[in-house]
Amino acid sequence: MDFNLQHTDPHSNARAGEIITDHGAIKTPIFMPVGTQGAVKALDFVTLKDDVKAEIILGNTYHLYLRPGIDILEKAGGLHRFNGWDGPILTDSGGFQVFSLAHNRKLKEEGAEFRSHIDGSKHMFSPERVMDIQRSIGADIIMAFDECTPGDADYEYAKKSLALTERWLDRCLTRFNQTEGKYGYQQSLFPIVQGCVYKDLRQRAAENVASKNAEGNAIGGLAVGEPAEKMYEMIEIVNEILPKDKPRYLMGVGTPANLLEAIERGVDMFDCIMPTRNGRNGQLFTKDGIINIRNRRWADDFSPIEADGASYVDTRFSKAYLRHLTITSEILGLQIASTHNLAFYLWLVKEARKHIITGDFLAWKRSMMPRVQNRIS
């Protein structure tokens, strides 16, 4: 993988670059639609490429390991051949899923022992095992195995957790360097900066990660319960340390406002389930604010979802029609809302890139912030 840093905004730390993988190039900043189980919910890949303009999607190691299973993925020739997506893929290591199974898992030095949420069967994720699984899945970018601490963790727990994550990282790197990709193309491993909301822990974690000289780096353990301002503070601290010539990936974040704030602070890559999950529940993100399409006020509003929207669905379908589909639980409603929200997120980061290149990102961002946070209904 190569990363070319092409422009930096003169008034902020916002950056525009390009990540080049064996499955194609990715222009940054970029938002990655979440395809947890090998598919982005309610959308096919033609829609993702042609209408959403997605350049890379995300899969999840935990879920793909459980279903369809590593044997099936290896027989298929990896996730790309199994699901038909021919662009870049990133896989999350499963650390966040293990974190979310707090009542059903046990952490120890060897790794994380957990029970499947599907059938209760017992499994063990060690750093080595997670590297092997991600080799079998075959994503272009894979993540180190870590413990994701909750945003309200106390200092001593966060410190102990970070130490475990750092030891696991060393084991991930060793296993990764001892093995090769299985399908004839290169994979890149990103370490993850943890440390909760504590400045000294984040600094220590970022310095340790930077010392590994990986091809890219991730920032984890944010947007997990801490205040937004604390999240932005941690991003600033970490990005002062992480190398500027490597892409920076903020994991699991977030709202359109979160993306703009993080781009200003030097983040290049994002993923979040919010656009698709919220879309399926009737919440639309638009250039002028947030719409709850279930509200009665849209029942006889025959205007487009968004007159100058980012996708064909915005001008083709009316708010009244989408409300009808949503209220009646028609599958088409899920498709339209998900297409719209993802297309808006991709439009937003591509507009940010455009303004970084022209040198007026900060002014543009200030004009956009009140708009994307406005609640229309």
List active site positions: 92, 271
- Is residue 66 within a helix (H) or strand (E), and if so which, with residue range? helix 61-66
Residue 48 gets which letter from DSSP? I
Q: Which of 236, 278, 264 is nearest to 368 (CA)?
A: 264
329/98 Cα distance (integer angstroms): 31
Contact 69, 310 (CB under 8 A): no
- Is residue 123 within a helix (H) or strand (E), and if so which, with residue range? strand 122-125
| Residue 140, strand partner residues | none
Q: How many residues does the chain have?
A: 377
292/376 Cα distance (integer angstroms): 8
Residue type, 64: L
Contact 135, 187 (CB under 8 A): yes
Q: Cβ of 122: how many Cβ atoms within 10 Å?
A: 10
326/337 Cα distance (integer angstroms): 9
32/88 Cα distance (integer angstroms): 10
Q: Which conformational region is residue 144 in: left (phi greater than 0), alpha (psi within -120 to 50 degrees), or beta?
A: beta
261/366 Cα distance (integer angstroms): 10
Q: Is 340 helix (H, G, I), strand (E, B) or coil?
A: helix
284/341 Cα distance (integer angstroms): 6
Q: At CA 324, angle to CA 323 and CA 330, rounded to 5?
A: 105
283/307 Cα distance (integer angstroms): 17
Given the DSSP bridges, would you call strands 283-286 and 269-271 parallel, antiparallel or unpaired? unpaired
73/23 Cα distance (integer angstroms): 18
Taking only Cα atoms into account, the Rg of the chain, rounded to an integer number of angstroms, comes to: 20
